[in-house]
Amino acid sequence: MSEYIEKILKDIKAKNQNEPEFHQAVQEVLESLEIVLQRHPEYRSLKILERMVEPERVIMFRVPWMDDQGEIQINRGYRIEMNSAIGPYKGGLRFHPSVTLGILKFLAFEQVFKNSLTTLPMGGGKGGSDFNTKGKSDNEIMRFCQSFMTELCRHIGPNTDVPAGDIGVGTREIGFLYGQYKRIRNESTGVLTGKGINWGGSLIRPEATGYGCVYFAEEMLKTKKTTFDGKVVAVSGFGNVAWGAVQKVNELGGKVVTLSGPDGYIYDPDGVKGEKVDYMLKLRSSNKDAVEDYAKEYKVKFVPSKKPWDMKVDVALPCATQNEIYEEDAKELLKNGCFCVCEGANMPTTIEAYNIFRDAKILYAPGKASNAGGVATSGLEMSQNSMRLPWSKEEVDRRLHEIMIRIHNTCITTAERFGTPGNYVNGANIAGFLKVADAMMDQGLV
Ligand code: NDP
Ligand code: 2IT
């Protein structure tokens, strides 16, 4: 690592204490950018990196709400407006008890590069709350969402900042948030994406992240002259992204043998297919935080407190959350014959685990490239909202597929151009960076 990059990292750690996920995300990107800075000293003299690691704006607010027992509860709400160089801030909202400022800053930082890769005009942002949806009634969730939006609505707008879903935020939550925005602002606009299909949403948005991830993995497999047909696949998580990924793997002839939750993982040697895929939706809406019920329902093996990385598989699609593949897991995956890891989640792989994959020269794609299909389809929802014309399922899916192929090719050509052929991490970080950096330079001291 160059002295310059080391100094930036040191300063970030000193200035943003107790935000290890943010440090991790920044370190991964900066390491990829060394070679860019050697070729383009202007980014250094104009302090582009120092500017990019500082959010344009951070909003932090109180969210008071009343539970079903009539007791007052207080949560903390956030919106990180990271970078608007190429378009309005865009990125999801996460409701999960593990949410902190540092987690949302890592996600907002990743989002800037991801959105740049989609080729659509979207800046980067992220928000959310430490609110736990688990065990809450619909009414409690509604009251929470209404209170959250009562503050957030001052800061967002269809041309300013356009939130969407993430962990713990699906169509139900987006509905409550959208309803409240409309009551306060008296405007029907595309201020949120992931909306219901009858009130401005886009077809394919619910499936988009998972589909996009598998489209990306399909391109990766093509570089090794192979396909999903007959491949055995490990998926982690059982939420929105995992659900879309499982559907598309099945469609392409692969077999998904695992799903996981915070409680452990299930192993289904016949494959998660048919009605079992619909059962995933039930699991998610049960608000129970557990995947074990799947094992009971379909009489398959449940492995408590473990991640699904110790099974014999060809492909792994981590789709649950950050830092779920550690160094030992990476070694285990390699030992079991896995040769393609394509991230549906954001930053599921630690830097040490990534180094193992890189050194083994297996196919490995970082989430900011391979899970960009979700936000790309959000961008397509924004286009449809602006035109006030909905597209068919086929039209949206075709555009999503094209975007994923384009992102894949951009990663490949950029990695090659900067001397590290086959390295999707460098390809994604460098290509994502160049567009945003050049836009910032064009716009003066922003
Ligand atoms: P969901 O809430 O639908 O599902 C998340 C899954 O991960 C659930 O199975 C959840 O279980 C599990 N999970 C959440 N937190 C933890 C934790 N701390 N430890 C273990 N398991 C956990 O979210 P999504 O499917 O939307 O998101 C999954 C990942 O994909 C995240 O990394 C997200 O940032 C990323 N992503 C999402 C996009 C989208 O459009 N939705 C787009 C791009 C990326 P439980 O809820 O029971 O805790
Ligand atoms: O991480 C992500 O890209 C998302 N959660 C989707 C963001 C969006 O605006 O659709």
pLDDT of residue 286: 84
Out of 133, 155, 189, a domain closes at 189
Q: Look at the alpha carbons of 186, 188, 189, 193 in this order and tell me if their dihedral is positive or negative.
A: positive
In a domain, 61, yes or no: yes
Q: Assess whether 154 and 226 both reside in one domain.
A: no
3-state helix, strand, coil in the chain (%, to 5): 50, 15, 35
In a domain, 24, yes or no: yes
Catalytic residue among 90, 126, 136, 248: 126
Helices (H), 40-100: 41-45, 48-52
Q: Assess whether 216 and 182 both reside in one domain.
A: no
Nearest atom (ligand 1) to Cα of 321: 32
* Cα distance between residue 106 and residue 226, in whole Å: 34
Q: Is 301 one of the annotated active-site residues of the chain?
A: no
Mutate which of 319, 321, 326 for ligand 1? The one with the most ligand atoms within 8 Å of its CB, which is 321
Q: Assess whether 173 and 262 both reside in one domain.
A: no
- DSSP one-letter string for 228-252: STT-EEEEE--SHHHHHHHHHHHHT
Helix axes 3-15, 20-39, angle to 10 degrees: 150
Centroid of ligand 2 to alpha carbon of 92 (angstroms): 4
Both tokens of 119, joined, read 């080729």
- Supply angle C-alpha 329, 215, 306, rounded to 5: 20
Q: Is 420 helix (H, G, I), strand (E, B) or coil?
A: coil
Candidates 8, 14, 55, 54; CA nearest to 31 is: 8
> The domain containing residue 172 runs over which residues?
3-189
Which residue is listed with tokens 């285990």? 332
In a domain, 434, yes or no: no
Q: Are 277 and 250 in contact, with CB atoms under 8 Å apart?
A: yes
111 lines ligand 1 (CB under 6 A): no
DSSP lists the bridge partners of residue 235 as 317
Q: Assess whether 237 and 349 both reside in one domain.
A: yes
In a domain, 200, yes or no: no
Q: Assess whether 104 and 177 both reside in one domain.
A: yes
DSSP lists the bridge partners of residue 129 as 77, 95
Specify the number of domains making up the chain: 2
pLDDT of residue 30: 97
Write the residue with the smallest CA distance to atom 12 of ligand 1. Answer: 320
Q: Are 424 and 364 in contact, with CB atoms under 8 Å apart?
A: yes
Centroid of ligand 1 to alpha carbon of 238 (angstroms): 8
209 lines ligand 1 (CB under 6 A): yes
CATH number where 291 lies = 3.40.50.720
255 lines ligand 1 (CB under 6 A): no
Q: Assess whether 168 and 234 both reside in one domain.
A: no
Helix (H) or strand (E) holding 7: helix 3-15
In a domain, 174, yes or no: yes
pTM, full prediction: 0.97
Which segments of the chain have a pLDDT < 50?
none
* Cα distance between residue 250 and residue 271, in whole Å: 9
Q: Assess whether 150 and 258 both reside in one domain.
A: no
240 lines ligand 1 (CB under 6 A): yes
pLDDT digits (tens, 9 = 90+) for 272-303: 999 999 999 999 888 787 999 999 999 999 99
Out of 141, 161, 189, a domain closes at 189
Q: Assess whether 59 and 25 both reside in one domain.
A: yes
pLDDT digits (tens, 9 = 90+) for 192-205: 999 999 999 999 99
In a domain, 379, yes or no: no
In a domain, 407, yes or no: no
Q: What is the DSSP letter of 199?
A: G
pLDDT of residue 39: 95
429 lines ligand 2 (CB under 6 A): no
CATH number where 128 lies = 3.40.50.10860
Ligand nearest to the CA of 209: 1
pLDDT of residue 287: 78
DSSP lists the bridge partners of residue 209 as none
Q: Assess whether 10 and 131 both reside in one domain.
A: yes
In a domain, 288, yes or no: yes
Centroid of ligand 1 to alpha carbon of 167 (angstroms): 4
322 lines ligand 2 (CB under 6 A): no
Q: Assess whether 260 and 163 both reside in one domain.
A: no
Candidates 318, 57, 294, 283; CA nearest to 170 is: 283
Out of 346, 365, 384, a domain closes at 365
pLDDT of residue 289: 78
Both tokens of 299, joined, read 């009489």
Q: What is the biggest distance separating any 2 CA atoms in the chain, rounded to whole angstroms?
A: 62
pLDDT digits (tens, 9 = 90+) for 325-343: 999 999 999 999 999 999 9
| 335: number of Cβ within 10 Å | 10
Q: Assess whether 165 and 265 both reside in one domain.
A: no
166 lines ligand 1 (CB under 6 A): yes
Q: Assess whether 166 and 256 both reside in one domain.
A: no
Write the residue with the smallest CA distance to atom 3 of ligand 1. Answer: 239
